[in-house]
Every structure is written in C-alpha cells, then in structure tokens.
Chain A
Amino acid sequence: DMKVTQMPRYLIKRMGENVLLECGQDMSHETMYWYRQDPGLGLQLIYISYDVDSNSEGDIPKGYRVSRKKREHFSLILDSAKTNQTSVYFCASSYGQGDTLYFGAGTRLSVL
C-alpha cells in the first residue's frame, strides 16, 4: 500500500519550544522532502534527503533541521520554534530525481 504518513496531524506549541514532525513512507523511496505551505506562497521546499544521512538544504532551511536515520523515516526538527513557523508542513517522497512525488496529509503547526 503506497502511503506517506505524517504525525502528528495537528500541533500547538509555544514560542521557544522544540518541535518534532515525523514522516514515514512504505514505498522504499530514496528521496524524501519537507515542504511548508503558506497562503499565497505555494509550497516551499525546506529540506531534501537523498538517502540515509544524505540531506541537503532546500529554499528555506533557516530555523529547521532534519534527520534521516532510516530510509523510511524523515524527521523535521524545529529547535526553539518561532511564531513565523506557524504553517502547514507536508512531507513527500519519490523514487528518484524529478519523479512523481507522493505526499502525506500534512501537519498543521501553530506556534503561539
């Protein structure tokens, strides 16, 4: 069953707290992505991972870091969350470069 699972779906945090967003996929895809989506800005790439411990910055990496210790899991970490990181975060995976992306349902994060 081809699936990208994100946890949690909704999260409320206070400014300065740490945030961990988890993503898993069951398709053995090598490449995984974290995006955020804000009104009027579309989807913006935060980080991309080509395989275990092979991660690269996307367009807006500042304030975020990632971890990929297993091919099927890709985590997004916010150390000391800021209010401007309130957004909807999408995880995605693909077989390889430029191939079809499969998205999770998204995590709605509110930083108060």
Chain B
Amino acid sequence: GDQVEQSPSALSLHEGTGSALRCNFTTTMRAVQWFRKNSRGSLINLFYLASGTKENGRLKSAFDSKERYSTLHIRDAQLEDSGTYFCAASHQGGRALIFGTGTTVSVSP
C-alpha cells in the first residue's frame, strides 16, 4: 500500500496568509525531504530532516519519525510560492526516496 500519504492535494492561499502541508507515513521512516517543482519542471530541494524542525525564510518543516508524519508550513505566502510540493521519505536502510503524490499550491493576490 501507499507508504507516504500527502495532503491536501491542492491548496489555495491569498498573499500574506499561511497554511500547512502534511505527509503521513505508514511505517517508520529514517528521514524526510521536501521539494518544490519550479516552473521549468525542475525539483528544488527545500528541506532534509532526520528529526526535529528546520526553518528557511517563510518555510518551516518538522519531522516526527515516531509519530510517522512530517509537515511543511508556509507563512506570509507570496505569489512565487505557487507550485507543486512533494514530500519524500526513506526507510531505515532504504535505498531510495518514497514520494508523496504532491500538493499543488496556488497563491493569489
């Protein structure tokens, strides 16, 4: 079955507001990464976490391996934050990342 469940599938935000994306895991994961796909189709690394939280500008991510989830918070959303965001996680001893199905974020004025 699906090991990485990402939600929501789509998210609409007004500029200046914030929200959170979430990934739930059906098994214990060693680490999680968050990516954003840019307008050219390239995947941009946002965060890599083995535990705890990380913050970069208006983005903040958290990962709890024991509770089997990770979140990505966007605050003070800007138009350039629009895009598709993916979480991906790796097993203990895993050989590749398992991706969620993505969240399409649309930020409007």
A interface, CB within 8 angstroms of B: 31, 33, 35, 40-45, 48, 50, 56, 58, 88, 90, 92, 97-98, 100-106, 108
Residue of A nearest to B99 (CB): A43
Complex contact B31–A98 (CB within 8 A)? yes
Complex contact B102–A42 (CB within 8 A)? yes
Write the nearest CB–CB distance from A1 to chain B, whole angstroms: 15
Write the nearest CB–CB distance from A29 to chain B, whole angstroms: 13
Contact A48/B42 with A40-B101, A97-B90, A98-B31 known, Cβ cut-off 8 Å: no
CB neighbours (8 Å) of B35 from chain A are: 103
CB neighbours (8 Å) of B86 from chain A are: 42-43
Q: Mark B75-109, 1 if CB is under 8 A from A, else 0.
A: 00000000000101011011111011110000000
- Decide yes or no whether B45 CB sits under 8 A from chain A: yes
Q: When A and B form their complex, what is the total count of cross-chain residue pairs whose Cβ atoms lie within 8 Å? A: 56
Interface of A is mostly: strand
B interface, CB within 8 angstroms of A: 6, 30-31, 33, 35, 40-43, 45, 48, 86, 88, 90-91, 93-97, 99-102
Complex contact B97–A98 (CB within 8 A)? yes
Complex CA–CA separation, A88 to B97 (angstroms): 18
Contact A102/B45 with A58-B96, A97-B95 known, Cβ cut-off 8 Å: yes
CB neighbours (8 Å) of A48 from chain B are: 95-96
Contact A42/B42 with A48-B95, A98-B31, A100-B48 known, Cβ cut-off 8 Å: no
Complex CA–CA separation, A33 to B99 (angstroms): 13
